[in-house]
Amino acid sequence: MDATTAPHRIPPQMPQYGEANHVFELMQNMLEQLLIHQPKDPIPFMIDHLQRDNDYVPKIIILGPPASGKTTIAMWLAKHLSTNLLSVESLIAKEYSPLAADARMHYQKFKMVPNMLLIRLMQERLKEEDCIRRGWILDGIPETREQALTIQTLGISPRHVIALSAPDTVLIERNLGKRIDPQTGEIYHTTFDWPPESEIQNRLMMPAGISEGETARKLLEYHRNIVRILPSYPKILKVINADQPCVDVFYQALTYVQTSHRSNAPFTPRVLLCGPVGSGKSLQAALLAQKYGLINVCCGQLLKEAVADKSKYGEMIQPFFEKETAVPDNIVMKVLKQRLDQQDCVERGWVLHGFPRDLDQAHVMDSLGYKPNRRLWETLPCASIFCLP
C-alpha cells in the first residue's frame, strides 16, 4: 500500500492534547464571539478575546417569581464564586453614569426601565474590567423575551441559567415576611431567616411592594413573561424548586453552576476500571466495550497473549510466569504501550482493566502520557469476594 492510501496515523498525543487544553471549546467560543460581533479586522479581535481568557468565568442568570429567593441565592452565589451581582436596582444605582441617571428617572416615574435603556446599562456594566475578569450573575434579568433576545444578539451569553419555581400561594405568604437591612442590603425573613444580632433585628425594614395584592400582581406579570423567556435557553437551563430551605436551594444552584456542559468537541473515551479481584471489572469492561465500541484492554490477557505468541516481550515475561512472580512494571508498560498505541485504540478509545495495580504503575502510566478521561472504581465487600465461584 503506498503512502497516499495508507491510513493517516493520528499520533495519540494530538487528541489528548486537544482534550487536556480544551482547544476545541476555545476555538468554538472565539468563533461564536467573532460571528456575533463581526469585527472589521478579526485578527486583533481574536487576540484580545484569547488574552482575556474568560471563557470559564461565571456567567449566570437567575430567574424566578417574586419571593422565590432569586436575590438571596444570587447574593450567596456571588459571594461564594467571588463574582459580580447585577440586578435592575444595582444597575440604575450606578454613579457617574448618564445612562443610570436616565434609568433612575424612568424608574422613579414609571416604576420600570425601558428595555433598551436597561440593556444598554447592562452592556456598559459588563464591559467593565471586573465583570470581564471575574464574571457576573444577572438577578432577575431578562424580564421579558425581548430583553432575552436582545441580550443574545449582543453576544451576552450566559453559561448557566437557573429558574426558581414555587407555588404562588407559598410565595405570597413568604413575601409578607421579607425584611431588608438598609445598611448592608442583606435580605432576611421574619420566619425563615431572622438575624441573631439584635442590632440588625432592630434596623431591619419592610420593603415596599410585598403586600399580598402587590405580590399577586407581580406573579401574574412574571408568569406571562417567563414562558416566553425560558425557551431562549434550552441547553443551559435548570429549574430548581424554591419551596425548600434556602440552603438546599443554594447548594443545588452551586452544584449546577460548577458543572460544565457537554461540548461538541470530539471525545475519545479512555476509561480506566479499577477494583479488587472479582469486583466485575472484566464483565463491565466487556459491556462498556460492546455498548460504546471501545477496545477492551485487559492487562493480564495481554501478557498471556504475548507469551503464547512467543513475541519479544513474551520471552521476557515467560520466566516470571513460570516462577509465578510479578512481571516487572517496565515490561508490563511496554506491552501495554504497544497495544494502546495501535490505531483502533487511538481512534475508538479503550477501556483498560487490570492495570495499574499500585501507585508506581499509575505514575508510570501517567508519565508515558496515557491519561484516562473516565475513571470507575468498583468496590465489593471482602466477604463477597471470597464467596465468588
Ligand X SMILES: Nc1ncnc2c1ncn2[C@@H]1O[C@H](COP(=O)(O)OP(=O)(O)OP(=O)(O)O)[C@@H](O)[C@H]1O
Ligand Y SMILES: Nc1nc2c(ncn2[C@H]2C[C@H](O)[C@@H](COP(=O)(O)OP(=O)(O)O)O2)c(=O)[nH]1
Residues in touch with ligand Y (CB under 6 A): 275, 277-283, 388-389
- For residue 211, the partner it binds in ligand Y, ligand X, none, with Cβ less than 5 to 8 A by kind, is none
Q: How far is the CB of 67 from ligand X (least distance, A)?
A: 4
* C-beta closer to ligand Y: residue 177 or 275: 275
* Radius of gyration from C-alpha coordinates of the chain: 29
Under the binding rule (CB under 6 A), the answer on residue 92 touching ligand X is no
Distance of alpha carbon 17 from alpha carbon 148, whole angstroms: 36
Q: Which of 150, 159, 104 is nearest to 123 (CA)?
A: 150
Q: How far is the CB of 379 from ligand Y (least distance, A)?
A: 11
* C-beta closer to ligand Y: residue 227 or 287: 287
* C-beta closer to ligand X: residue 56 or 192: 192
**Exactly one of 64, 135, 354, 356 binds ligand X (CB under 6 A); which one?**
64
Q: How far is the CB of 313 from ligand Y (least distance, A)?
A: 22
User: Looking at this protein, which amino acid is placed at residue 294?
Assistant: L
Under the binding rule (CB under 6 A), the answer on residue 70 touching ligand X is yes
**Please, what's the b/e burial string for 160-199 (b: 16 or more CB within 10 A of its CB; e: otherwise)?**
bbbbbebebeebbebbebbbbeeeeebbbbeeebeeeeee
Q: How far is the CB of 144 from ligand X (least distance, A)?
A: 15
- For residue 68, the partner it binds in ligand Y, ligand X, none, with Cβ less than 5 to 8 A by kind, is ligand X
**Exactly one of 242, 299, 303, 352 binds ligand X (CB under 6 A); which one?**
242
Strands in the chain per DSSP E: 59-63, 84-87, 136-139, 160-165, 178-180, 187-189, 237-241, 270-274, 295-298, 350-353, 374-377
The stretch among 9-17, 67-75, 104-112, 152-160 that binds ligand X (CB under 6 A) is 67-75
Using CB atoms, what's the residue nearest to ligand X? Answer: 69
- For residue 342, the partner it binds in ligand X, ligand Y, none, with Cβ less than 5 to 8 A by kind, is none
Cα–Cα–Cα angle for 361, 364, 369, rounded to 5 degrees: 130
Distance of alpha carbon 352 from alpha carbon 282, whole angstroms: 9
DSSP code per residue over 314-339: HHHHHHHHHTT-PPPHHHHHHHHHHH
Under the binding rule (CB under 6 A), the answer on residue 142 touching ligand X is no
Q: How far is the CB of 286 from ligand Y (least distance, A)?
A: 8
- For residue 45, the partner it binds in ligand X, ligand Y, none, with Cβ less than 5 to 8 A by kind, is none
* Dihedrals phi, psi of 344, to nearest 5 degrees: -65, -40
Considering only residues 72 through 91, tell me which ones interact with ligand X, judged by CB under 6 A: 72
Considering only residues 148 through 207, tell me which ones interact with ligand X, judged by CB under 6 A: 174, 177-178, 187-189, 192-193
Q: How far is the CB of 338 from ligand Y (least distance, A)?
A: 22
User: Looking at this protein, which amino acid is placed at residue 4?
Assistant: T
* C-beta closer to ligand X: residue 219 or 317: 219
Distance of alpha carbon 284 from alpha carbon 96, whole angstroms: 63
Q: How far is the CB of 71 from ligand X (least distance, A)?
A: 3
C-alpha cell at 198: 439584635
Under 8 Å CB-to-CB from 388, ≥6 apart: which residues?
Answer: 278
Under the binding rule (CB under 6 A), the answer on residue 349 touching ligand X is no
User: Looking at this protein, which amino acid is placed at residue 229?
Assistant: I
The stretch among 59-67, 91-99, 273-281, 313-321 that binds ligand X (CB under 6 A) is 59-67
3-state secondary structure of 283: helix
Distance of alpha carbon 128 from alpha carbon 139, whole angstroms: 18
Under the binding rule (CB under 6 A), the answer on residue 69 touching ligand X is yes
- For residue 66, the partner it binds in ligand Y, ligand X, none, with Cβ less than 5 to 8 A by kind, is ligand X
* C-beta closer to ligand Y: residue 179 or 281: 281
* Dihedrals phi, psi of 207, to nearest 5 degrees: -70, 160
The stretch among 24-32, 241-249, 293-301, 335-343 that binds ligand X (CB under 6 A) is 241-249
Please give the residue ranges that form the binding site for ligand X (CB under 6 A).
64, 66-72, 140, 174, 177-178, 187-189, 192-193, 242, 244-246, 249
